[in-house]
Chain A
């Protein structure tokens, strides 16, 4: 998704772009995502600024792209079960509001006006109308298509080498089918961004974080918003390797309800974790008792790419001129893709940056040019 957005905005700036992927469009984490376009889960700070810009850009893209991408400005609803939790949530929402987020406190007795099937007895919640959803694979595919003739796709081609000139500057990439020359190379390899960086001789400590999504049988519209419990917010910034799960429950236009958000740091292991599935199911049923008798038909694992400070790497790599990074967005890659793509396009064309990208500097973790 991030690569597609970079290609789209770069092409609109008049650049010719070749998108390489060793698999299919949306073959990596994009295809395993739920399509969360969230501001609600982000602390005030640089990531939230990126998310707010993306929210606007997604709204613009939804005008341009066909409705098949299933963009829905459905809003998020974060709930708390007791007064202590609600107080913490309200305090958090107030800080977000100060940073430009629309966050409306919803008293417990009004929650079911927004979500009629929500469990009774919850203390209250916060409604985030800016949260939205998109079907990520369709969005990526249609975004690439909308980019037009300036973008050419080379799928099933793995980059085996970054070509460099005499002064160490990037000259292109090598794949099994030959060399491709380019003045700039953008690393949008997501979870595998660290490997691509290594090919360029620089270190970028991208790590995989496993997440599961449970998918139910097709249902009528039972869940209207993105609904989750407040502890999801804490998980995002968590630095713990222990399993932390709180269910994000949402309906989809196609019918199934998606239940997601477990996070584990276990390397590239797709083995189902029974504990994670149990937790997802239990929390979803607790939020929406009507889901109890509903069957899960599928579950899948994806690997969220994260960097040690949980911020993405966006921008030029001073250690390797011509190389830019656009990866490490953790669970927010779909949401943050348009803003990332915009920034990369501005950087490539010498345009004005929409926000300060210093916090996203790719070389902020140290480590120089290898070899």
Chain B
């Protein structure tokens, strides 16, 4: 290995995120001769899509919970065969420019969530952000009751921990997992995949509740025709659900969860075109858990910290503005996959490879094998799938009427327990016009998760009843993950390259803190 891991290693490329985009990018760049560090918070590569059990769980057929598992194992093998260094268990909290030279500093902490955190800095000539996405949530009465879980969260727990949500303590010897009834609700193509996986793993799925109608896709026949794999994927999930006897209810939403210490039932209401619940349409469905999510939003904390330009998607979320080479507006910072728009695994793989090749070309790696033919094919595939992604974002964009299913006491911010009533009051009575000011006035979004769960909802409520102002800037989270103060204080080697050094204390004053 040309660049063994030391306290302060320097690489051609640091790839952040070892999901499909990051893996594809790291492998492509390493195979073209670049020294690559691939950082990921998890203990193993794969990201959310290829999340899988730890080796100790001894899964002999991990592919049973995955589609296209072979693509992942092939990438994993190429990664192992390459010179790239996988830095697992690295939680990256910021990326900053190293002033002295044309380099970037990637700052991470290692350690099991606050336990023995150790700061690590990785230097690189280029950075590929492949930080993926997290689930968009819209609150509803009862969404904080234990047993309500993210749809993606339910899938993640299943894929890695081999557990289902909503299990009840069973007498010794009983079949684990039997009897969990999980309603799947929200919006977006992920719901079908989640329901199919849950059902395959033994959960009973009384209903899949989709707020949009699938007819929206029919308005874009050419995009559909150009993406037959997407249609096939939907058909595959649909067939699986039929096989398991799962009912799909479109233009409907879970508008209330029943139960106080755990989920007992949900009320499903029909929605009008704007997602306003239709009065009197509520029907109760008994269940043990609710897996809910309203699509995905790109994870941009590191990118916005670097000042990368963003644009708005059709569903209102912020995306990175990328050029044809996958480079952001900040030269030297590249991105691939969901950060540039929610598009799914094939798009992430395509963009990752494109980015890896482009970075290698920029930094003087070997010429790409397959030459320009492969590049053209990748770019065509990207264009086709980006078009499909745009249709998907439009079809599943939250309708403005969703907030009608809130009551004033519904906690919108789960961390700080801020109800919808207080958020509306901040907007109507105290001059808050955006999520940032609502946050300052109510603490919504100021808790542990820093608004990742409530951000969409708070922004919607803050803008309610006003004509569209200038679009809000993306949320800034300069600390992408929490960092222990002693780990921050122990950062070594950063001072020499950081602006503002050395520190000058005014003469004559004591310096307790200097």
Contact = CB atoms under 8 A, between A and B. Distances in A.
Interface of A: 23-27, 31, 79-82, 84-86, 88-89, 122-123, 137-138, 141-142, 144-145, 153, 155-156, 214-218, 228-231, 233-235, 237-238, 240, 242-247, 254, 256, 264, 266, 270-287, 291-301
Interface stretch (B33-41, B44-52, B434-442): B434-442
B500 A276 contact: yes
B484 A88 contact: no
Contacts of B478: 270, 272, 298-301
B510 A230 contact: yes
Contacts of A272: 94, 96, 305, 478-479
Contact of A292 (B437, B447, B483, B484): B484
Contact of A235 (B441, B502, B506): B506
A23 B503 contact: no
Contacts of B470: 156
Contact of A240 (B450, B504, B512): B504
Contacts of B448: 217, 297
Contacts of B278: none
Contacts of A89: 510
Contacts of B416: 254
Contacts of B501: 243, 275
Contacts of A286: 512-513
A10 B320 CA distance: 46
A300 B440 CA distance: 12
Contact of B504 (A137, A244, A270, A298): A244
Contacts of A234: 505-506, 508-509
Contacts of B482: 217, 295-297
Interface in B281-312: 305-307
Nearest to A86: B510
A23 B335 CA distance: 31
A278 B489 contact: yes
Contacts, number: 218
Nearest 5 pairs of A and B residues by beta carbon: A85-B510, A243-B500, A234-B506, A283-B513, A229-B512
Contact of A81 (B426, B440, B476, B510): B510
Nearest to B499: A273
A282 B306 CA distance: 24
A278 B512 contact: no
B482 to A, nearest CB: 4
Decide if the interface of chain B is mainly helix, strand, loop or mixed.
Answer: loop
B307 A271 contact: yes
A141 B512 CA distance: 37
A278 B494 contact: yes
Given A145-B430, A272-B305, A278-B495, A80 B484 contact: no
A287 B513 contact: yes
Given A24-B436, A141-B431, A243-B503, A295 B441 contact: no
B431 A25 contact: yes
Nearest to B116: A293
B486 A292 contact: yes
B488 to A, nearest CB: 4
Contacts of A155: 431, 433
Given A137-B437, A264-B499, A272-B305, 13 more contacts: A24-B432, A24-B436, A141-B431, A214-B485, A229-B511, A234-B509, A246-B512, A271-B307, A272-B478, A276-B500, A295-B114, A295-B483, A296-B485
B446 to A, nearest CB: 8
Contacts of A297: 447-448, 450, 479, 482
A297 B91 CA distance: 13
15 contacts: A31-B436, A80-B512, A81-B511, A142-B430, A230-B511, A234-B506, A243-B501, A244-B504, A256-B446, A274-B94, A274-B105, A276-B500, A283-B514, A285-B489, A297-B447
B373 interface: no
A294 B484 contact: yes
B429 interface: yes
Contact of B505 (A82, A244, A264): A244
B90 interface: no
A215 B477 CA distance: 12
A246 B511 contact: yes
Nearest to B501: A275
A285 B488 CA distance: 10
Contacts of A291: 485
Interface of B: 94, 96-97, 105, 107, 114, 305-307, 416, 426, 429-434, 436-437, 440-441, 443, 446-448, 450, 469-470, 476-479, 482-486, 488-489, 491, 494-495, 498-506, 508-514
B509 A233 contact: yes
Contacts of A274: 94, 96, 105, 107, 491, 494, 498
A360 B229 CA distance: 70
Contacts of A231: 505-506, 509-514
Nearest to B508: A88
Which of A123, A245, A301 has the most C-beta atoms of chain B within 10 angstroms of its own C-beta?
A: A245
B484 A295 contact: yes
Contacts of B306: 271
B511 A275 contact: no
A216 B511 CA distance: 24
A218 B505 contact: no
A216 B485 contact: yes
A242 B489 contact: no
B96 A245 contact: no
A169 B430 CA distance: 33
Given A229-B513, A247-B513, A273 B498 contact: yes
Contact of B450 (A144, A244, A298): A298
A285 B510 contact: no
Contacts of A298: 446, 450, 477-479
Nearest to A135: B440
A245 B486 CA distance: 17
A85 B433 contact: no
A327 B205 CA distance: 61
B479 A299 contact: yes
B510 A84 contact: yes
Contact of A25 (B430, B498, B511, B513): B430
Nearest to A254: B443
A246 B498 CA distance: 17
Given A25-B432, A244-B504, A272-B96, A295 B485 contact: yes
B431 A153 contact: yes
B96 A271 contact: yes
Contacts of A230: 509-512
A296 B483 contact: yes
A288 B94 CA distance: 25
Nearest to B94: A272
Nearest to A295: B482
A278 B484 contact: no
A363 B50 CA distance: 65
Contacts of B431: 24-25, 141, 144, 153, 155
A23 B484 contact: no
Contacts of A244: 503-506
Contacts of B446: 215, 254, 256, 298
Contacts of B512: 79-81, 85, 122, 229-231, 246, 283, 286-287
A293 B433 contact: no
Nearest to A289: B486
A371 to B, nearest CB: 29
B8 to A, nearest CB: 14
B484 A293 contact: yes
A356 B430 CA distance: 34
A89 to B, nearest CB: 6
A87 B331 CA distance: 52
B475 to A, nearest CB: 11
A254 B440 CA distance: 12
Nearest to B442: A138
Given A88-B509, A299-B479, A264 B500 contact: yes
